[in-house]
Amino acid sequence: MMRNYRIFALLLTLCLLLPTLIGCAPGRTPAPAKTTGETVAKTTAEATTKAPPVYSAHSVLDERQNIKLIGRSQFSYGNILADWTASGIQFEYRGSGDLAIEVEKSGGTKSVVLIATVDGEDHVVTVNKNGDAIYPIASDLPQGRHRVLIRRRTMAEDGSNPPVGLMLQFKNVWLCGTFQRKPADAAYKIAFLGDSITCGVGIEKSPNGLATYAVDLCDREGFDYDVCSVSGIGASHSTSRHGDNSMTKYYPYYNYYRSESIRYTPERKADLVIVNLNTNDNNTGATETRYKADLKTLLTEIRAAHGQDVKIVWVVGQMISTTANVNKWLNAVFDELGGESAGLYRIEVKTNTEGESGHPDLSSHKAVSAALSRFLREKNLLDLPAQIPQ
């Protein structure tokens, strides 16, 4: 009888210790009321019939050495700020079971859409309310090594007048397993400055910042990137809802909507900067004198962030004529500052207004991405293989 009791006690102890042995502390499951969002991997019916997830919170700050920042993301407030188009995180872990992300949203009433790619499969996560919440990504993952990329599809502000920032902080990753070594940096990093085109406005009914020429170029070529794009912004003169602000006001800060005290300090400087502005300057009646002065200021700010010798490529004509006055002013300033011998380049592309709200459509973004691949090689701006990746 005593022997049976000991066996029973041993089995009970093993059951209680099992979550810890596989890397998840017991009693750390999130409250059901705090879990919202959606995923394309599991239907709602399936989600309601399965047992509560067993996983634990891993602070992004504690795992900082294992998490790669994507886009214009930045560690701050003890979390990871992901306020910008195509920003996010990348990591790998060994484990199984369910995966979720805990985020805090603030500012504006519109949702922020994230695309979480887990082992090559995309999952849509809609952050649909302000405050702190846990959003499921994937469930029933098999035991093994998992590769996770979480990127923001939604632009930085809500499109209102005046604009309100849609701000996001990654706080904890909920998983059952152990983080692995941080994914390696790509050979090159490209920084992008742009307006609604670079936000992905026009590609679909709602902006898709992950289908732009910028992200397409970097995903295809294997570059890291940094995207700073604001719908309606100009190099000098913006749409009326931005008041007197232009890109020269936004660029020096991590996020002007969040704070004018947090400067943008990229962990890694860009090897090349690509700018796609001038559309709003042209459409809002920018003046030549002010445009030229503000353009010089913006070029100075770019090089203050990424180095005095960083090469800058300006995309001309995607939404307005290449011969518009504002593009002529751009040419004059580039020539005055030394042009290509001073690292200032311009690439003319075909104008396209076939997308939503008269913006470039997806075919235009693909064409500009391909044109940039050719241009980088023709000008030998980066040490790239001769063959362009498909």
Print pLDDT tens along the chain (390 aa).
Answer: 444 444 444 444 444 344 434 445 443 444 333 333 333 333 333 334 456 777 899 999 999 999 999 999 999 889 999 999 999 999 999 999 999 999 999 998 999 999 999 999 999 999 999 999 999 999 999 999 999 999 999 999 999 999 999 999 999 999 999 999 999 999 999 999 999 999 999 999 999 999 999 999 999 999 999 999 999 999 999 999 999 999 998 898 889 888 888 888 787 999 999 999 999 999 999 999 999 999 999 999 999 999 999 999 999 999 999 999 999 999 999 999 999 999 999 999 999 999 999 999 999 999 999 999 999 999 999 999 999 998
User: How many C-beta atoms lie closer than 10 Å to residue 339's C-beta?
Assistant: 14
Backbone angles phi, psi at 357, to 5 degrees: 60, 30
At the topology level, CATH places domain 34-179 in: Jelly Rolls (2.60.120)
| CB-neighbour burial class of residue 16 (10 A; exposed 0-12, middle 13-18, buried 19+) | exposed
Enumerate the domain spans of the chain. 34-179, 189-378
CA separation (Å) from 102 to 4, 34, 37, 167? 45, 10, 11, 14
* Helix residue spans in 113-239 (DSSP H): 196-199, 213-221
Whether the predicted model's global pTM rises above the 0.95 cut: no
Strand partners, 273: 191, 312
> Which string of b and e fits 279-316 if b means at least 16 CB within 10 Å?
bbbbbbebeeeebbebbebbbebbeebbeeebbbbbbb
Q: What is the DSSP letter of 323?
A: T
Give the pairing type, strands 112-118 and 121-127: antiparallel
Of 389, 347, 352, nearest in space to 372 by CA? 347
* Distance (Å, whole) CA 125 – CA 249: 31
DSSP labels, 201-222: BTTBSS--TTSSHHHHHHHHHT
The pLDDT of residue 51: 65
Asked whether the beta carbons of 310 and 302 are under 8 A apart, the reply is yes
DSSP labels, 59-122: ETTTTGGG-EEESS-EEETTEEE--STT-EEEEEEEEEEEEEEEEEEESSSS-EEEEEEETTEE
CA separation (Å) from 210 to 11, 156, 219, 307, 386? 50, 13, 10, 27, 26
The pLDDT of residue 261: 81
User: How many C-beta atoms lie closer than 10 Å to residue 380's C-beta?
Assistant: 8
* Distance (Å, whole) CA 280 – CA 166: 22
At the topology level, CATH places domain 189-378 in: Rossmann fold (3.40.50)
User: How many C-beta atoms lie closer than 10 Å to residue 205's C-beta?
Assistant: 8
